[in-house]
Amino acid sequence: MPSPIRFPFLARPVRRLMGPLQTSAEGMALQQKFIEVISRNIANAETTRTPEGGAYRREVAVSDGSGSVETVEDARPGRQVYDPGHPDADANGFVSYPNVELNTELVDMMVARRVHEANATVFQSAKAMLRKALDI
């Protein structure tokens, strides 16, 4: 995750005003990370061969609430497709495909995008409030 913006050089009242800016920036970085993971899943939706062996496994990014993100593998099995001519087909002619469902990924991406937008709106609002405070 990108390192969050910090303002150690500013006086405490100014830092307090800057607080929402920092929080929103962290929120946007978190959603950015989610979108990265989702796009990796979409890019590998048909990958039947990986360096680790077998088909690509879907990844899920989970936040622990402190700003760090952990990526875990989805344990569900992938689909089996009968295709004896495929280079990755097993002895019975079945090919293991990744456990990625495009519909799920696209819905997850829409959620991440909306939350990213919400954070951007809070950021803009904090900026407008700071500007008003400077006009006093």
| Binding site residues, other proteins, CB under 8 A | 16-17, 19-20, 23-24, 26-27, 30-31, 33-35, 37-38, 60-63, 65, 74, 76, 104, 108, 111-112, 114-115, 118-119, 121-122, 125-126, 128-129, 132-133, 135-136
What the block records as the tokens of 129 is 């409030």
- Closest CB to other proteins among 45 and 122? 122
| Nearer CB in complex with other proteins: 89/118 | 118
Q: Taking the alpha carbons of 14, 18, 22, 23 in that order, is the dihedral positive or negative? A: positive
Q: CB-wise, 63 or 83, nearer to other proteins?
A: 63
Query: What is the widest separation between alpha-carbon atoms in the chain?
Result: 77
Q: Which is nearer to other proteins, 66 or 92 (CB)?
A: 66
Between CA 48 and CA 42 the distance in angstroms is 13
CA–CA dist 107, 5 (Å, integer): 29
- Least CB distance to other proteins at residue 104 (A): 7
Angle 40-42-47 (CA atoms, 0-180°, nearest 5)?
85
